[in-house]
Structure 1
């Protein structure tokens, strides 16, 4: 899912939580990442739908 070397260290954190059998905390981090990705996608979609200025 998320690589150990990428995503700002989130993958490493998930690996540590998995090794410690802290699946509840790992699931929470995954949920937060999914919520953040959804929010960014929504903002991006709305910005792309805005009409462009005619001056440029």
Structure 2
């Protein structure tokens, strides 16, 4: 996958390409899953403690 990012900052304008590999996408997905799981577990624990 290739992303072209263009930023027009006046006066200088710059453009660069960033190539994302599948491993990076998997790592990001894994991190998101870990954060979501941690948030759910925290809410459940808080709910149980507050009973």
User: Shorter-chain TM-score category?
Assistant: 0.5 to 0.7
RMSD of aligned Cα (Å): 1.5
**TM-score between both structures, scaled by the size of structure 2:** 0.58
Matches within 5 A, 1:13-28: 19-20=1-2, 22-28=21-27
Distance in 2, matches of 1:28 and 1:45, equals 26
TM-score by length of 1: 0.53
- Cα distance in 2, alignment partners of residues 51 and 44 from structure 1: 11
How many residue pairs were aligned?
A: 34
CA distance in 2, matches of 1:26, 1:40: 21
| Matching residue of 1:38 | 37
- Relative to its length, the structure with more helix (as a share) is 1
Structure 2 unmatched ranges of 5 or more: 3-19
Higher strand share: 2
